[in-house]
Amino acid sequence: MKTSIPPLSPPSSLAKLFNRLRLLVPSLLLLIAAILLLLLLLRSDPPHFISSVNSNPSHPTRPPLSSIVPDHDHPAPAFNRSPPGPPKPNLSLFVHEMDDPELLRAVSKPPYNAHRVPDGAVPKVAFMFLTRNALPLAPLWEKFFEGHRGLYSIYVHSHLTNNNLVRSKQSVFHGRIIPSKVVKWGRVNMIEAERRLLASALLDTLNQRFVLLSDSCIPLFNFSTIYSYLINSTKSSYIEVYDSRGKTGRGRFRPILKPLITIRQWRKGSQWFEVDRYIATRVVSDRTYFPAFQRSCKRKACYADEHYLPTFANIKFRERNAGRSLTWVDWTKGGAHPGRFVRPSVTPKFLEKMRFGSECEYNGKKSHVCYLFARKFTSHALERLLWFAPKVMRFDD
């Protein structure tokens, strides 16, 4: 028997451990119970704790905190007409309160469908921000717009109603939200949002040029330069259009679009466009091509934001379109998303490269000013952008 058990056999050491644990466990449990009790005492306010046995109806239980505190991660639909549920949004934060059918009907009629600004009136540029849930570069844009009231209008598609910025009356973004719906990357609802922005901006008959921007876009020049570039442009639109034979070009063509659109008419281009009033009205009143895109991208991501406008422009107004985008972006890193620029990459040299480092045609002449905006910049780049803006971009001349 002695020889059958080795001196330091695993069962015997396990048994020892078990013995120790048997002593330890009750004391540990007691300690945990004491901590829990302490936490419970600290959390409940004393009066409530004392009166908990008293079922006095004059002390109604408080609603859960989540129903009072605005939910930033999952905001309620910005435009909710049904009575139960979250409180209605504060309409003074909105440009208008029309839903999509009302809005599209309104802008299809005079005076909104007119292409020219009324005689003698000063034309405006509509800056349309298609954002997710924040405007991290807003301080730069505030500086950009400073001193130019009357020459621009701002529209924001987002669920920003809880955001302090749009609530502040001092902000240029105050009262500029449009009734918005959820937008998913690559889905056709991205185009719906773009049309909603265009239609909302058409409600102001002084708006003559319309530029789509994201929450990561920055201006590359000061307001006066961008304003005259757009207002004086002989081209109706800056929509990038190219034919790509690869998987992410022609490969995304759906045969269901035939015979309305053929694969030879199918085009690709950047989502970030700039159009004049004539093209804007044609886009919002398109009842042929857009519905076809909607039907062809019902269930899957179809990247309509990269194909609908380029294809529409290629078929309908090729001559009026410049064929290039005014928004600089870095695709050199490859993949489905362009390069992002953080703090150290923002240098005067880099800004100058984006401002003058390309060659293109502007009003029939060769030009080095091909991009007026750039993306993608994060909030980490803001400090340096604010620092360089006056010197490099000439914001305060």
Q: Of 67, 115, 156, 136, whose CA–CA distance to 283 is shortest?
A: 115
Q: Of 95, 80, 88, whose CA–CA distance to 175 is shortest?
A: 95
Return the range that interacts with ligand NAG (CB under 6 A); candidates 103-111, 223-231, 303-311, 337-345: 223-231
What are the distances in angstroms from CA 288 to CA 188, 240, 260? Answer: 15, 21, 9
Query: What residue number has its CB nearest to ligand NAG?
Result: 228
Beta carbons of 284 and 191 less than 8 angstroms apart: no
Interaction pattern, residues 34-73, with ligand NAG; x per rule: CB under 6 A: ----------------------------------------
Return the range that interacts with ligand NAG (CB under 6 A); candidates 49-57, 97-105, 228-236, 314-322: 228-236
CB of 197 to ligand NAG, least distance (A): 22
Compute the distance between CA of residue 79 and CA of residue 62 in angstroms, rounded to an integer: 27
- Tell me which DSSP letter residue 56 carries: -
Instruction: Please say which residue, 76 or 231, places its beta carbon nearer to ligand NAG.
Output: 231
- Using alpha carbons only, give the angle 239, 379, 126 rounded to the nearest 5 degrees: 35
Q: What part of residues 64-123 is at the interface with ligand NAG (CB under 6 A)?
A: 90, 92
> What is the total count of residues that contact ligand NAG (CB under 6 A)?
12
Beta carbons of 339 and 330 less than 8 angstroms apart: yes
| 397 binds ligand NAG, rule: CB under 6 A | yes
What are the distances in angstroms from CA 86 to CA 10, 78, 340, 343? Answer: 62, 10, 36, 39
Tokens representing 362 are 């502007």
The residues near 337 (Cβ < 8 Å, ≥ 6 apart) are: none
Beta carbons of 117 and 217 less than 8 angstroms apart: no
Q: Tell me which residue has tokens 């509509």.
A: 126
Instruction: Please say which residue, 227 or 290, places its beta carbon nearer to ligand NAG.
Output: 227
Q: Which of 3, 66, 82, 232 binds ligand NAG (CB under 6 A)?
A: 232
| 221 binds ligand NAG, rule: CB under 6 A | yes
CB of 175 to ligand NAG, least distance (A): 8
Q: Which of 19, 228, 248, 288 binds ligand NAG (CB under 6 A)?
A: 228
| 394 binds ligand NAG, rule: CB under 6 A | yes
CB of 375 to ligand NAG, least distance (A): 20
Instruction: Please say which residue, 108 or 162, places its beta carbon nearer to ligand NAG.
Output: 162
CB of 199 to ligand NAG, least distance (A): 24
Compute the distance between CA of residue 151 and CA of residue 124 in angstroms, rounded to an integer: 5
Q: Which of 117, 134, 231, 360 binds ligand NAG (CB under 6 A)?
A: 231
Beta carbons of 128 and 95 less than 8 angstroms apart: no
Return the range that interacts with ligand NAG (CB under 6 A); candidates 135-143, 226-234, 335-343, 377-385: 226-234
CB of 196 to ligand NAG, least distance (A): 22
Instruction: Please say which residue, 152 or 253, places its beta carbon nearer to ligand NAG.
Output: 152
* DSSP string computed for 321-349: B-SS-SEE---TT-SSS---B-GGG--HH
Return the range that interacts with ligand NAG (CB under 6 A); candidates 128-136, 216-224, 247-255, 318-326: 216-224
Q: Which residue ranges make up the site for ligand NAG (CB under 6 A)?
A: 90, 92, 167, 221-222, 224-225, 228, 231-232, 394, 397
